[in-house]
Amino acid sequence: QVQLVESGGGLVQAGGSLRLSCAASGSIFSFNAMGWHRQAPGQQRELVAAITTGGSTNYADSVKGRFTISRDNAKNTVYLQMNSLKPEDTAVYYCYALRGLTYYWGQGTQVTVSS
């Protein structure tokens, strides 16, 4: 059973930074890709950033240049460095892992950006 445990959320002022971590229960080499989605109140869940086993990355237009996704294979962990945060980044952030056609999800971590 795959477990993804997120950490690093919290409250920050606009312009500040946070780093989210997602620790997997096993080797992340078994996943085709990992990444982060977010969901704000009353809105649909949206992709924020993703990284493949080969290290290719993809970002939502709204976070390009501000967020950076990375992975530490030795620690089975994926990170999301979030800089220049804006109030509209406020949401619950969910880590995910894709293996074949199956998605695994973390429990979510709240990020709140105050203006």
For 101, phi and psi rounded to 5 degrees? -110, 10
Q: Give the Cα separation of 102 and 100 in Å (integer).
A: 6
Residue 30 has a pLDDT of 86
> Kind and range of the H or E element at 114?
strand 109-114
Q: What is the DSSP string of 31-46?
A: -SEEEEEEE-TTS--E
From first to last of its 115 residues, the chain has per-residue pLDDT tens of 899 999 999 999 999 999 999 999 878 788 999 999 999 999 999 999 999 999 999 999 999 999 999 999 899 999 999 999 999 999 999 999 999 999 999 999 999 999 9
Letter for the amino acid at 28?
Answer: I
